[in-house]
Amino acid sequence: MNLTTNISINEEDSVARVALVGALNTDTAPSFEERLQSVVDKNYAITVLDMKDLDYISSAGLRVIFKAAKQAKVAGNKLAAANRKPHIDKVFEILKALPDMAVFANDQELDDYLEAMQNKVKGEQ
Amino acid sequence: MNTSITSKLIVVLTLCLAVILGVGMTIDYRFSRDEILERVRLESAETVNNVVSELEQWLHGVEGDTLFLARVLEQREYSREGLNQLLRDIVAHNNEIFGAAIALNPELTDKPQGFAPYFYHRKGAISFTDFADKDQKYWEHAWYRDAATSGKPIWVEPYFDEDGGEILMTTFSVPVYHFDGEGNRSLYAVVTADVALTELHRYLQQLHLGESGYGVLISKAGIVLSTEKPDSIMRHYLDAMSTPADSDAWKRSFNAALRGETLVFPIECPARFGKCNARLSTLKATGWPVGVIYSQDEVLAPLREYETKTAIVGLGTLLLMALAVGIVSRRLTGPLVALARASDVIATGDLNAPLPRIKGKDEVAQLVQSFRAMKRDLKSYISDLKVATAGRARLEGEMAAATQIQMSMLPQGGEALEEAASYSLWAKVRPAKSVGGDLYTFYQCDQNKLYMAVGDVSDKGVPAALFMAKAISHMKQYEEAFESPPTGMALLNNALEQGNDNCMFVTLFFGVLDLQTLELRFASAGHTAPSLLRNGVTTVLSQETGPALGLAEDMPYPENTFNLQAGDRLAIYTDGIDEAFNNQAEMFGFERLNTQLQASAGDKITSAGTGIFKCVDDFAGDTPQSDDITLMLLDIPGQPANSQEVSRSFNCNSTVFGTVAGWLKEAFQQMSIDSEIGMELTLVSEEILTNIHKYAGLPASALIEVLIRIDSDKITLEFSDEGIAFNPFLDGHRADLGRDIESAEIGGLGVHLVTQLTDRQSYQRIDGCNLLSVEKSLSAE
């Protein structure tokens, strides 16, 4: 059970996408934590965890996400999860994890949100 | 024939003509009748008038003679001899007069008997008698007295003259007067002339009106002077001629006649049929009613004749016309009848029946022409149809043969049942058309191994069947290579890819079952995963597949393994089952199959198989089968063990999670645990192991034993270690859930997961070991 993390950054919109592939468990959590931390430290307005290819998550992984979410909120940014598989969703549900964490069911919702956010930002400028 | 044109025409035209003729004839008859009646009337009038005038002439003559005599006597006085001579001459020279007499007024004679010489015809000679001789007092006789009384010449009523002629007669008496110097008149004599009734009768009998008509003469007093029946003569007319019914008519007419009028009136015919008429007019001379009695029918005979003639002519015309119409119509409809008969013959199938020959261009001819053309077209159409049908029949024959050949390529000819000591196998293929692309096969290369396969060629029908044949024969070729399913698959794939320009492909499931260990090794080339019925629950085998066979060279086919158990029923099938459509375009689907498979738990393998087929057919209803259907069932005999256990020990090092996770995955697969349950249990065990790792205080070399137990309805995980006594359910730190990020505590989530994802949890401390047990139910929710 391995984890691959793919990161893509949109500097202009201040959006970071972190795609998880594989299983986020006790073994893989530490290295993931490192990578996630490096992204969150950069203080993007929104960091999206794309879980399309995430097959497994245990409490160890959740803790990592928790920590990152806390950090983001304190910094005034957002941490969001997208494309969660049903059993991953179930785990989040059971733990009632991060109730105010934004969740996107699919890419379309995510894109719409991002666009709305951009427009809002542009409107504010 | 009642409804034929001919009889219709005959009836209609005849009726029309009958009506027209009838009307015409009636009108003509009316006119003619009037004419004829008029003619008859005129004729009868003429006839009567002729006779009457003859009679009148005669009587007038008699009167004239008598008057002359009277005049003579008025002027001169004759001596007796002179008177005799005078009288004799008159009688002798006038045949009309029967007899004549000069009756002197007896007061003027010297003899009291008077002087009345009478000469008359008898037997051709003149006879003489003197009325005075016989003391007859002739002056009292009517012939004298009436004249003397009236003072004028009169005709005396008829009587029988005994004294003289001894016949029936009527007399014309003329009184003769002498005038003295002062102009006083005194009767000198009565001069008479007698007319025999028989003479009158003779005249009258010339009156013929019709065959039985006869004349009648009546005196002024109503005495019949002449009529047909002799015994009527001298009787009163009311008595002799009239019946009581007619008497009023007679009286009226008689009186009218006396007045000088002419009358025609109907009377009852004496002993004759029909109506009779009497026509009375008057003899001018005597004032006697004279007439004629005739039968109307006889007189109207010409009219009757005319009527009859007309009727006959009319009828004859009608008949002739009916005949003519019949003939003409027959000729016209003859071809039609022949045409109808010919079409009856054609309808029985004999297209060579001859059509009637017909000349001309009228409508009937056109009909025959069209019919001829239609017959021709029909013939050619039918022969084309025969050719096409023969072709189709031949094709169907070929297809039937093809079906047989294809089925013979499959073990036991398309429906197989194999019962061995260590397994039972049932399989059946049902193509959608005569031939199809589904296949199955099974064989044993050696005692210990059962090889089985189910495949599905793309599409259906003849192309799929040909490709299926190719696949089957290659599979035979690689029989032994399939001992390693991936190897066999790869070889088969390459063989089928060659020359496959149509890009046909076949999905295939190929499995090899070790009959001793019950380990099933299989490869799947894009084929649906089989379903497993175990312990009353149906699950789907997980498999890693390769691509469908025949499309690309050198493709890899992973090997899957799975352990069967006693009591298992494995169902391998093609998508003709789950993709069977019903009228509402719904698919049968995997769920229904799995449900049905589950329901077949207690059934024997054959009825389980046919039951699934029936379930599909019932679902599809009357929607035709859209794809080939194949089902193979494999039963492992024996009672399933109610529970099984596997366990292993692991070092409590940092990689323990991954190692245990890997082992769990394998074990779950072997036990055919649902993948979701498996994942949750893996998660649970990760959390438990994390706790142990953190809090049990064990060195890396210490062992943790993990045990998996499966019962009929639940799975149990047990973890035992020799570490510090630690009950995570009590001692563990549980985070409050649901709090927002800021206040959420990181950590303590694991226990939650464990309690939420399992149904029961228990902890025991036995002999210095922690024994943690969790249970999860396997039955359907």
Q: Residue B412 has what pLDDT?
A: 92
B contact test, residue of A2, A26, A31 with most B CBs within 10 A: A26
- Tens-place pLDDT, residues B690-727: 888 888 888 888 889 999 988 777 888 999 988 888 88
A contact test, residue of B683, B690, B733, B752 with most A CBs within 10 A: B683
Given a cut of 80, is residue B758 above it in pLDDT?
Answer: yes
Is A66 close to B741, i.e. CB distance below 8 A? yes
Average model confidence (pLDDT) across chain B: 84
Chain A residue at shortest CA distance from B676: A87
Which B residues 141-160 touch A at CB under 8 Å? none
- Tens-place pLDDT, residues B242-280: 777 778 888 888 888 888 788 787 777 666 566 777 888
Residues of B in contact with A25 (CB under 8 A): 657-658, 661, 686
Among the partner-chain residues A73, A95, A100, the one whose CB lies closest to the CB of B737 is: A95
Cβ-proximal residues to B184 (8 Å cutoff; 6+ apart), any chain: none
Is A56 close to B683, i.e. CB distance below 8 A? yes
- Taking residues A55-61, report their average pLDDT: 85
Q: Provide CATH code, domain B409-635.
A: 3.60.40.10
Among the partner-chain residues B657, B679, B742, the one whose CB lies closest to the CB of A26 is: B657
Instruction: Give the CATH superfamily of B644-777.
Output: Histidine kinase-like ATPase, C-terminal domain (3.30.565.10)
Which B residues 745-764 touch A at CB under 8 Å? 746-747, 749-750, 752-753, 756-757
Place B172 in a pLDDT band, splitting at 50, 70 and 90. confident
**With contact defined as beta carbons under 8 Å apart, do B421 and B516 qualify?**
no
Structure-block tokens of residue B15 = 């009726």
To the nearest whole Å, the CA of A95 is away from the closest chain B CA by: 6
Is B740 close to A99, i.e. CB distance below 8 A? yes
Is B750 close to A58, i.e. CB distance below 8 A? yes
Backbone conformation region of residue B124, classed left if phi is above 0, alpha if psi is from -120 to 50, else beta: left
- Tens-place pLDDT, residues B73-100: 888 777 778 878 888 888 888 877 888 8
Domain segments of chain A: what residues?
A: 3-110
Tally Cβ neighbours within 10 Å of residue A18. 21
Is A98 close to B662, i.e. CB distance below 8 A? no
| Beta bridge mates, A82 | A50, A104
Among the partner-chain residues A56, A59, A74, the one whose CB lies closest to the CB of B753 is: A59
To the nearest whole Å, the CA of A8 is away from the closest chain B CA by: 25
Task: Work out the percent of chain B whose per-residue pLDDT is above 70.
Answer: 93
Among the partner-chain residues A59, A73, A87, the one whose CB lies closest to the CB of B750 is: A59
Among the partner-chain residues B655, B679, B737, the one whose CB lies closest to the CB of A87 is: B679
Among the partner-chain residues A55, A58, A67, the one whose CB lies closest to the CB of B746 is: A67
Is A17 in a helix, a strand, or coil? strand
Backbone angles phi and psi of B502, in degrees to 5: -75, -5
pTM greater than the 0.90 cutoff: no
Is B179 in a helix, a strand, or coil? strand
Is B662 close to A73, i.e. CB distance below 8 A? no
Distance CA B608, CA B39 (A): 119
CATH architecture for residues B207-299: 2-Layer Sandwich (3.30)
- Taking residues B56-70, report their average pLDDT: 85
Place B135 in a pLDDT band, splitting at 50, 70 and 90. low
Q: Residue B643 has what pLDDT?
A: 66
Backbone conformation region of residue B260, classed left if phi is above 0, alpha if psi is from -120 to 50, else beta: left
Structure-block tokens of residue B435 = 């031939």
Burial status of residue A64 (CB atoms within 10 A of its CB: 0-12, 13-18, 19 or more): buried
Distance CA B541, CA B529 (A): 6
Residues of B in contact with A97 (CB under 8 A): 744, 749
Residues of B in contact with A63 (CB under 8 A): 746-747, 749
Alpha helices in B621-727 (DSSP H): 656-670, 675-695
- Tens-place pLDDT, residues B375-410: 889 889 999 999 999 999 999 999 999 999 999 999
Listed in order, the ranges of chain B carrying CATH 3.60.40.10 are 409-635
Work out whether strand B560-563 and strand B769-777 pair parallel, antiparallel, or are unpaired: unpaired
Structure-block tokens of residue B464 = 């799929």
Which ipTM value was assigned to this complex? 0.78
Residues in chain A: 125
Put simply, whether B397 touches A (Cβ < 8 Å) is: no
Is A62 close to B661, i.e. CB distance below 8 A? no
Listed in order, the ranges of chain B carrying CATH 3.30.565.10 are 644-777
Q: Provide CATH code, domain A3-110.
A: 3.30.750.24
A contact test, residue of B681, B686, B759 with most A CBs within 10 A: B686
Structure-block tokens of residue B752 = 């939650």
Residues of A in contact with B686 (CB under 8 A): 25-26, 58, 60
Residues of A in contact with B658 (CB under 8 A): 1, 25, 27
Task: Work out the percent of chain B whose per-residue pLDDT is above 90.
Answer: 25
Given a cut of 60, is residue B738 above it in pLDDT?
Answer: no
Listed in order, the ranges of chain B carrying CATH 3.30.450.20 are 207-299
**With contact defined as beta carbons under 8 Å apart, do A57 and A88 qualify?**
yes
Among the partner-chain residues B661, B689, B740, the one whose CB lies closest to the CB of A1 is: B661
Q: What is the DSSP string of B381-408?
A: HHHHHHHHHHHHHHHHHHHHHHHHHHHH
Is B215 in a helix, a strand, or coil? strand
Chain A residue at shortest CA distance from B758: A94
Q: Which range in A116-120, B165-169, B385-389, B678-682 is most confidently predicted, on average pLDDT?
A: B385-389
Distance CA B32, CA B26 (A): 10
Range from B217-226, B299-308, B497-506 carrying the lowest mean pLDDT? B299-308
Work out whether strand B629-635 and strand B569-573 pair parallel, antiparallel, or are unpaired: antiparallel
Is A63 close to B680, i.e. CB distance below 8 A? no
Is B753 close to A58, i.e. CB distance below 8 A? yes
Distance CA B686, CA B90 (A): 191
Q: Residue B163 has what pLDDT?
A: 65
Among the partner-chain residues A57, A70, A91, the one whose CB lies closest to the CB of B741 is: A70
Which B residues 671-730 touch A at CB under 8 Å? 676, 679-680, 682-683, 686-687, 689-690
Range from B52-66, B67-81, B105-119, B545-559 carrying the lowest mean pLDDT? B105-119
To the nearest whole Å, the CA of A94 is away from the closest chain B CA by: 7
B contact test, residue of A27, A55, A59, A90 with most B CBs within 10 A: A59
Q: What is the DSSP string of B258-283?
A: HHT--EEEEE--TT-SS-EEEEEEE-
To the nearest whole Å, the CA of A102 is away from the closest chain B CA by: 12
**With contact defined as beta carbons under 8 Å apart, do B605 and B636 qualify?**
no
Q: Residue B746 has what pLDDT?
A: 42
Distance CA B360, CA B231 (A): 83
